[in-house]
Amino acid sequence: MPLDIKICGLKTPEALGAALVGGATHFGFIFFDKSPRNITPDDAGRLRAAALGGAAAPTTEREVEALAVAVTVDAGDAFLDEIVHAVMPDMLQLHGKESPQRVAEVKARYDLPVMKAFSIAEAADLEKIEPYRGVADRFLFDAKPPKGAELPGGNGVPFDWRVLAGLEPSIDYMLSGGLNASNIAEALRRVAPPGIDISSGVESAPGEKDVGLIEDFFHAVRDAEA
């Protein structure tokens, strides 16, 4: 199976263009006002539209097919309505404490696939996914936020990937948390995840995506795959 690659926290056409040219299968927008990657639904909608037909327009079929992911944290219906209306995302990523019932409700309300994020530190944390199986379409395994961190994700810290060793092979997920061009080869070798997700590792400062770092990351992924 080809590896899914999500570049998250995009705010500029340049960064989105670099992600698409590099071969991202997913691109993420963060709708969380405490995040340095926060973007308004209207701005994300414009960026997405530009990616489909403007300055950052894709030139290959693979780029056109990349999926827009809207990332929210315990968002209510009114905010989700606004995001879905403005962005027309292909997938919703729920990165808060959403219950299985809430995930099911969101899926049904928007008729969109949902990726549910979980903070992982030890093998026991994986038990939390059980009630979400058959409800969420995909999981995202991220590190637990460091003490005092304001963000549930995007903290640039990895977790111990060995805890994924016992995971059932049928579970579809993205590996996330502190990935970068230097550690992605080891992550792919050790974990062989169906997908990977990166944000801080392609930034020059919190929330500032760097086109050069995005390119370096894709080169590292392609070298590791070769």
Ligand X SMILES: O=C(O)c1ccccc1NCC(=O)[C@H](O)[C@H](O)COP(=O)(O)O
Smallest gap from residue 59 Cβ to ligand X (A): 25
Smallest gap from residue 53 Cβ to ligand X (A): 26
Smallest gap from residue 117 Cβ to ligand X (A): 7
Phi, psi of 36 (to 5 degrees): -70, -10
Integer CA distances (angstroms), 158 to 18, 72, 145, 184, 214, in order:
24, 21, 10, 11, 18
In this chain, which of 10, 71, 92, 184 binds ligand X, going by CB under 6 A? 71
- Binding to ligand X by CB under 6 A, coded x per residue (else -) over 148-187, reads ---xxxxxx-------------------xxxx--------
Number of residues interacting with ligand X: please give it, by CB under 6 A: 26
In this chain, which of 19, 24, 30, 221 binds ligand X, going by CB under 6 A? 30
HSE (side-chain half, CA atoms, 13 Å) at 16:
29
Are the CB atoms for 50 and 10 separated by under 8 Å? Answer: no
Q: Give residue number: closest CB to ligand X.
A: 154
Cα 226 to Cα 221: distance, rounded to the nearest angstrom: 9
Residue of 173, 170, 195 whose CA lies nearest to 184: 195
In this chain, which of 16, 29, 35, 47 binds ligand X, going by CB under 6 A? 35
In this chain, which of 11, 48, 95, 138 binds ligand X, going by CB under 6 A? 95
Smallest gap from residue 225 Cβ to ligand X (A): 19
> Which element (helix H / strand E) includes 212?
helix 211-225
Smallest gap from residue 74 Cβ to ligand X (A): 10
Which lies closer to ligand X via its Cβ, residue 57 or residue 206? 206
Interior/surface letters 27-53, b for 16+ CB within 10 angstroms, e for the rest: bbbbbbeebebbbebeebbbbbeebee
Residue 25 touches ligand X, criterion: CB under 6 A:
no
Binding site residues, ligand X, CB under 6 A? 8-9, 28, 30, 32, 35, 37, 71, 73, 95, 142, 151-156, 176-179, 197-201
